[in-house]
Amino acid sequence: MISQMPIQKNHTLLDVGAGSGFFTIAMAERTLNKVYALDPDKRMLCVIQEKAKEKRLNNIELIQDSLENLSIQNESIDFVMASLILHEVSSLSEALSKIYEVLSGC
């Protein structure tokens, strides 16, 4: 599925609700830039950290927080993955606005 996405080697990516890192790891293998893995559950972020270590991936930054509190610079992300998470946010319109803010205009 990731191979069908318009991810390029120079893209900076965000995985919202990263969970166990299924998409995070695949995204990190497709770019040389940073992949932010956002999840409120520290245990899930530890799972991602272990998977990244096994695959020798050094371009993943773990963020333990919610989408509503995301503190990534506006217009700094080229691609956002938000799989199976948007039903969990308190306000869909606010969540989508936050995603739009961090996306670059490219």
The answer on pLDDT for 106 being more than 60 is no
- Dihedral sign, CA of 42, 47, 53, 59? negative
State phi, psi for 77 to the nearest 5 degrees. Answer: -115, 135
Segment 40-71, tens digit of pLDDT: 999 999 999 999 999 999 999 999 998 888 88
pTM for the structure as a whole: 0.88
Tell me the per-residue pLDDT of 63-80, one tens digit each, with 9 for 90 and over.
999 888 888 888 899 999
8-state DSSP, 16: E
Give backbone dihedrals phi and psi of 98, rounded to 5 degrees, phi first.
-65, -45
